[in-house]
Amino acid sequence: MSAGSGTKASVPQDGWQLLLVNPKNSLPEGFSVTLKPLKDGNAVDERCYDDLQNMMEDCRAAGLQPLICSSYRTQAKQQQLFDSQVGKLTSQGYSSKAATDLAAQSVAAPGTSEHQTGLAVDIVDAHYPVLDTAQADTATQQWLINNSWKYGFILRYPADKTHITGIQYEPWHYRYVGRAAAKEIHEQGLCLEEYVASK
């Protein structure tokens, strides 16, 4: 399936926090979000702000140094990131279609990125600010992987769910789904696609 194809997502009756945005479900028509700025220039949906702040403060209180390196993105910003990735792959010899399809596995096509919802944050360890799988081995990520659900966040793209999410393993990408859903997802070992489908 080419990047950006699929259906328009709709806000589920269960609540705004379970909006499914992925390669097969793009943002709903007319989607908008009320943002609340973070201290570092990032911003998130105001409804998840308090839980995010509590999670970050508790992580720091555990002696760790979490750093939010990405949060809400505009359509234009997502387009820029996606085009850049396609360009890199094209310069490596991939055809335009192959580069577009491959790019979508690591950078969501515009309109299909959770970052555009204001509910997703990329968090790294300040001592290892690199977006690669080794991020999972940092003390900060271990704490977040084990505790983020208590604050309503889930590790959105686990290594064992790439065949379902369509996105490569990202041990830095956390998505707000609300505390009740996060608890169930954590306890049942699900990804968001599986959880939404079960409702």
Predicted confidence (pLDDT) at residue 8 exceeds the cutoff of 90 = no
DSSP at 6: S
List, for residues 134-182, the tens digit of each pLDDT value: 999 999 999 999 999 999 999 999 999 999 998 999 999 999 999 999 9
Strand partners, 66: 125
Confidence of residue 91 (pLDDT cuts 50, 70, 90): very high
pLDDT band of residue 13 (cuts 50, 70, 90) is very low
HSE-CB of 146 using CA atoms within 13 angstroms = 10
Report the mean per-residue pLDDT for the chain.
91
Q: Give 1's pLDDT tier (boundaries 50, 70, 90).
A: very low
Q: For residues 39 and 136, which has the higher predicted lDDT (pLDDT)? A: 136
Does residue 184 have an active-site annotation? no
Q: How far is CA 87 from CA 30, 63, 92, 105, in A?
A: 29, 40, 9, 14
Q: What is the mean pLDDT of residues 6-25?
A: 73
CB-facing half-sphere around the CA of 187: CA atoms within 13 A? 8
pLDDT band at 199 (very low <50, low <70, confident <90, very high): confident
Q: What is the pLDDT of residue 3?
A: 36
Are 111 and 26 in contact, with CB atoms under 8 Å apart?
yes
pTM for the predicted model, two decimal places: 0.88
Amino acid letter for position 124: V
Q: Which of 46, 57, 170, 194 is catalytic?
A: 170
Tell me which of 137 and 105 has the higher pLDDT: 137
- Residue-level length of the chain: 199
How is domain 7-197 classified at the architecture level of CATH?
2-Layer Sandwich (3.30)
4 pLDDT exceeds 50? no
Residue 65 has pLDDT above 90, yes or no: yes
Q: Which of 152, 81, 68 is nearest to 111 (CA)?
A: 81
**102-127 mean pLDDT:** 93
For range 85-104, the mean pLDDT:
93
